[in-house]
């Protein structure tokens, strides 16, 4: 029988089939918690420190005291990967408010729950990367920055799930969300970029988009290889008339968009700047300097 993956919960390891949390956990009852999705490539956890920093920033906003220091959290992530003997992996790090009563008051939750899942993920097929995907702007608006904005990576993803449902119903690969002013914000779990006249453009996070770690890598890489990057508001018209468009994210990596609401993007094929960025990205994620090694 294949050995079950081990899951970390509050300092202990459980086989996947026995890794459970209480039904009174406010992460389940209210989506009250924060998380990170992280990847390891060839035994190195890509941008682990940056992900841990963002987790603690998210926790700070929702006034959740993570019961481990950042150094202890990094150690726990590496140890979980080691216990599962993984080299290429997807890591899901979750901190919930913990067990409380049935009311929503967080003061009733004395101890946050820390969960580390290390597994394998394949989100979009090789074909999607090769040929690009069809996306659509959906009716559900990204929550604004003075609400449950994705600037905070919380367990509250209903906003994104509603977007995904719309795309599924329409037979589209992915959803694109607008902010309340009608500007492009991001995908359901990806940031969005367009290329216009050789410039690489992405919306500001004031549209409620997540401060994406892949987004940051892509912006820096584009500058490094000679493309000007701009953070500015993008309208649906800008997107419909862009030369190229693509999504970025830890799970998605870089995925070309070739159609938006049935309008062909550029010539309907992944564009040259997108492809160049994908090539560079492949190199960066495998650069040991860009992360923390699992086996030291
Ligand atoms: C809403 C949202 N936007 C964007 C992203 C991409 O962010 P990152 O590149 O840090 O994975 C994610 C993925 O975590 C996300 O959930």
pLDDT at residue 247 tops 70: yes
Instruction: Please give the number of the atom of ligand 1 that sits closest to the Cα of 188.
Output: 1
The per-residue pLDDT for range 60-106, each reduced to its tens digit, is 999 999 999 999 999 999 999 999 999 999 999 999 999 999 999 99
pLDDT at 120: 86
Over the chain, what is the mean pLDDT? 96
Residue 72 Cα, ligand 1 centroid: separation in angstroms? 24
The per-residue pLDDT for range 199-224, each reduced to its tens digit, is 999 999 999 999 999 999 999 999 99
Q: How far apart are CA 294 and CA 3, in angstroms?
A: 20
Global confidence as pTM: 0.97
pLDDT at 124: 65
Q: How confident is the model at residue 126 (pLDDT cuts 50, 70, 90)?
A: confident
Q: How confident is the model at residue 1 (pLDDT cuts 50, 70, 90)?
A: low
Q: Pocket residues for ligand 1 (CB within 6 Å)? A: 37, 150, 160, 186, 189-191, 210, 212-215, 248-250
Choosing from 47, 141, 153, 164, the catalytic residue is 153
List the one residue out of 15, 167, 29, 130 whose CA is nearest residue 84: 15
List the one residue out of 100, 128, 119, 124 whose CA is nearest residue 33: 100
Catalytic: 153? Answer: yes
Residue 252 Cα, ligand 1 centroid: separation in angstroms? 9
Length of the chain in terms of residues written: 296
The per-residue pLDDT for range 14-63, each reduced to its tens digit, is 999 999 999 999 999 999 999 999 999 999 999 999 999 999 999 999 99
List the one residue out of 296, 248, 271 whose CA is nearest residue 123: 248
Q: Is residue 198 within 8 Å of residue 273, measured between CB atoms?
A: yes
Mean local confidence (pLDDT), 248-264: 97
Domains and their CATH numbers in the chain:
6-119 (3.30.470.10), 126-285 (3.20.10.10)
Q: How far apart are CA 290 and CA 287, in angstroms?
A: 6
Residues 6+ apart with CB under 8 A from 245: 135, 192, 193, 194, 195, 239, 256, 257, 260, 265, 274
pLDDT at 123: 58
Sheet with 6-9, strands from edge to edge, namely 12-15, 6-9, 113-119, 89-96, 33-41, 44-46, 291-293
């Amino acid at each position: 029988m294949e050995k079950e993956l081990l899951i970390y919960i509050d300092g202990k390891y459980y086989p996947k089939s026995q890794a459970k949390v209480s039904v009174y956990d406010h992460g389940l009852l209210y989506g009250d918690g924060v998380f990170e999705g992280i990847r390891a490539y060839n035994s190195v956890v890509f941008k682990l420190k940056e992900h841990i920093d963002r987790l603690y920033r998210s926790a700070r906003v929702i006034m959740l005291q993570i019961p481990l220091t950042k150094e202890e959290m990094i150690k726990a992530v590496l140890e979980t990967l080691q216990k599962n003997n993984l080299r290429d992996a997807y890591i899901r790090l979750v901190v919930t408010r913990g067990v409380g009563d049935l009311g929503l008051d967080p003061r009733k939750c004395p101890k946050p729950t820390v969960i580390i899942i290390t597994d394998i993920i394949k989100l979009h097929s090789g074909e999607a990367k090769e040929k690009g995907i069809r996306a659509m702007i959906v009716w559900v608006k990204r929550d604004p920055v003075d609400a449950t904005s994705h600037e905070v990576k919380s367990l509250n993803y209903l906003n994104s799930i509603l977007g995904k449902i719309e795309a599924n119903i329409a037979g589209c690969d992915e959803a694109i969300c607008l902010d309340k002013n009608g500007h492009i914000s991001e995908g359901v779990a990806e940031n969005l970029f367009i290329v216009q006249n050789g410039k690489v453009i992405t919306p500001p996070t004031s549209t409620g988009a997540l401060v994406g770690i892949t987004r940051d890598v892509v912006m820096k890489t584009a500058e490094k290889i000679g493309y000007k990057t701009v953070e500015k508001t993008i309208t649906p018209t800008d997107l419909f008339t862009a030369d190229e468009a693509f999504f970025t994210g830890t799970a998605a990596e870089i995925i070309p968009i070739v159609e938006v609401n049935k309008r062909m993007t550029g010539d309907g094929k992944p564009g040259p700047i997108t492809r160049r960025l994908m090539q560079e990205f492949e190199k960066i994620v495998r650069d040991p300097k860009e992360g923390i090694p699992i086996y030291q």
